[in-house]
Amino acid sequence: MKVTVPQSRVHGDAHAPPSKSYTHRAILAAGYSDGALVHHYLGSADTRETMGAVEAFGGDVADVQDVLEVDGFGGRPEVPPDVVDCGNSGTTMRLTTVAAALADGITVLTGDASLRSRPQGPLLDAVDQLGGSARSTRANGQAPLVVEGPIEGGTVTIPGDVSSQFVSALLMAGAVTDDGVDVELSTELKSAPYVDITLEVLDDFGVEATRTESGYRVPGGQSYEPRDGEYTVPGDFSSASYLLAAGALAGDPEVEVHEVYPSAQGDSAIIDILTEMGADLEWDRENGRAVVRRSELSGTTVDVGDTPDLLPTIATLGAAADGTTEIVNAEHVRFKETDRVSAMAEQLSKMGAEVEEERDALLVHGGESDLVGADVEGLGDHRIVMALAVAGLVADGETTITGAEDVDVSFPGFFDVLYELGVDVSRE
């Protein structure tokens, strides 16, 4: 699908969708339980893959009046009757790789071409350290993966600078092993707030897990039992970042974003980043509401070590700001649905932005940029699509984005929300 976004002013109310990160974890946590209800969940392409995995392991997932009713597999996944296809969802593949290692037999996991190019090697090695067997069919550390269990727990040493999802997967599965799991980090943990999200969800499901001096520890023999059998997913700051950025660049008079309550989400940093850049923004934490108005922004320096999903949003803001915006500590952002560092450099350049790409950084010279409408590509990445749409709001002319359907991964109603904010979005 192609979507065309004209230069526009935006105004009105918008609701951030439910968090994709929390939804993934809540669905799998409910799968580990005997059963649970998940309220305010995100129904998207990625989260549907996790629902499918829970069903492959012997659970059942049904939407009943916008509430997920999950009949879990009680902590012990069955061997799936078929290959588990994780689509484009790296979170699904990583969280369920260790879940598969709990099953008494062999599980095969695969995904689309993008997912089959993403690194899984350290997680496969972790499963081996726990007494299971996990290998890449192509011997390159990438899917398709073949996993054999059952594991009983133990100690694993794993790098922290490839993906925090490895740690989350080990903690979630480790709770139902006999011996529990100790995770020793051999390198600095990147994207640490995502592990904090996992710890928060585990706690809400009655599971104890803690940080240690060298990593994390989850005792074994635990059961997943959410309070009152229910869990409610919070709003998503990653998705809210596009709405907040739209308000800061084109709000006239203002955009009011709802469902932005404080949580463990690292991407709540977008509030501080916008404020530092000079945005006229007010955040009512108690009521989960942020109001933002069109502002003269200035470049800044942002470390995305813990917030890789914000890089596309920050790059767009930098292209419309005065001065230079330096996005640093960004090498791990190259290993997402696409290489987001190169993708944003390439696509913003098509729109007239002056951009420099380094191995571990992206420099956007907004003071030297005059954004113009252009034909750009989403490159199979939902976050690239949404960031480019926001850039289109302040580009002279019209911006046409190819592959715009990929917003279904995390924010299926994104273009509907833009339309409701006053953007004359056209689709073909």
Nearest to 75 by CA among 189, 207, 163: 207
Distance CA 240, CA 226 (A): 27
Active-site residue identified among 309, 381, 406, 408: 309
336 known ligand binder = yes
222 known ligand binder = no
Tell me the two tokens of residue 87.
């689509």
Given a contact cutoff of 8 angstroms between Cβ atoms, the answer to whether 410 and 44 are in contact is: yes
163 known ligand binder = yes
118 known ligand binder = yes
Q: Which residues contact 189 (CB under 8 A, 6 or more apart)?
A: 160, 161, 164, 167, 195
89 known ligand binder = no
285 known ligand binder = no
Alpha-carbon distances of 253 from 99, 242, 393, 416, rounded to whole Å: 49, 17, 15, 20
Q: CB-side exposure of 397: number of CA atoms within 13 Å?
A: 10
Distance CA 416, CA 419 (A): 5
114 known ligand binder = no
350 known ligand binder = no
289 known ligand binder = no
263 known ligand binder = no
Task: Give catalytic status of residue 309 as yes or no.
Answer: yes
Distance CA 53, CA 67 (A): 18
25 known ligand binder = yes
190 known ligand binder = no
340 known ligand binder = yes
Q: Residues annotated in the binding site for 3-phosphoshikimate, as ranges?
A: 20-21, 25, 163-165, 191, 309, 336
Q: Residues annotated in the binding site, as ranges?
A: 20-21, 25, 90, 118, 163-165, 191, 309, 336, 340, 383
Q: Residues annotated in the binding site for phosphoenolpyruvate, as ranges?
A: 20, 90, 118, 165, 340, 383
**Catalytic residue numbers, as ranges:** 309
